[in-house]
């Protein structure tokens, strides 16, 4: 199976690889997936006082599509407000990266990682966690 050009591009030059201080109150961390399933994503956001995501970082254990999905997610998150970030849908990622059906789970994982990072930030700051309505698995 050949990869789309966009997957290759993100895979070759992944954006925003790295680690934010997970103990900081302004940082939310989402860790989703499982090693047994062949993909684990860690996505982190840094949020300012106006609820704007000023920085995003990821590290991913997984196939090229999983790496590209998380790289794209961090790119999209930067500059968005939390509310805007919550509207990112996995199908947007599928479309942007032209993922084949067998790789859709990679985009789902990226969406889960975004939501999970936002919830971690909210809980840290005394807010209630959003209910994660979609259960894809």
Partner 1 sequence: MELPIYLDNNATTPLDPRVLEAMLPYFTNKFGNAASRNHAFGWVAEEGVDYAREQVAKLIGCTEKEIIFTSGATEADNLGIKGVYEMYADKGNHIITATTEHKAILDTCKHLEKQGARVTYLKVKEDGLIDLAELEAAMTPETILVTIMYGNNEIGVIQPIKEISAIAHKHGALFMTDATQAVGKIPVDVNADGIDLMAFSAHKMYGPKGVGALYVRRKNPRVKVTSQIDGGGHERGMRSGTLNVPGIVGLGKACELCRLEMDEEAKRLSALRDKLEAALTTMEESYVNGNTEHRLPHVANISFKYVEGEGLMMAMKDLAVSSGSACTSASLEPSYVLKSLGLSDDLAHSSIRFGLGRFTTEEEVDYAIENTKKAVNHLRDLSPLWEMFKEGIDLSKIEWAEH
Catalytic site residues?
Answer: 37, 106
Least distance to partner 1, CB of residue 128, Å: 20
The answer to whether the beta carbons of residues 58 and 71 sit under 8 Å apart is yes
Residue ranges that bind partner 1, judged by CB under 8 A: 3, 8, 11, 14, 17, 19, 31-42, 59-64, 66-67, 102, 105, 109, 112, 136-137
**Shorter beta-carbon distance to partner 1: residue 52 or 59:** 59
**Shorter beta-carbon distance to partner 1: residue 64 or 75:** 64
**For every residue of 61-101, which 3-state class applies, written as one string?**
ECCHHHHHHHHHHHHHHCCCEHHHHHCCCHHHHHHHHCCCH
Least distance to partner 1, CB of residue 62, Å: 5
């Amino acid at each position: 199976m050949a990869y789309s050009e966009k997957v290759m591009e993100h895979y070759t030059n992944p954006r925003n690889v790295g680690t934010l201080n997970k103990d900081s109150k302004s940082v939310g961390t989402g860790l989703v997936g499982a090693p047994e399933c062949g993909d684990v994503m860690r996505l982190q956001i840094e949020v300012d006082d106006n609820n704007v995501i000023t920085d995003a970082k990821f590290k991913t254990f997984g196939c090229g599509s999983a790496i590209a999905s998380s790289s794209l997610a961090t790119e999209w998150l930067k500059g968005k407000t939390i509310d805007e970030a919550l509207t990112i849908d996995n199908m947007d990622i599928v479309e942007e990266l032209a993922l084949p059906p067998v790789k859709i789970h990679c985009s789902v994982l990226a969406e889960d990682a975004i939501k999970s990072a936002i919830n971690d930030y909210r809980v840290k700051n005394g807010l209630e966690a959003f209910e994660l309505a979609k259960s894809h698995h």
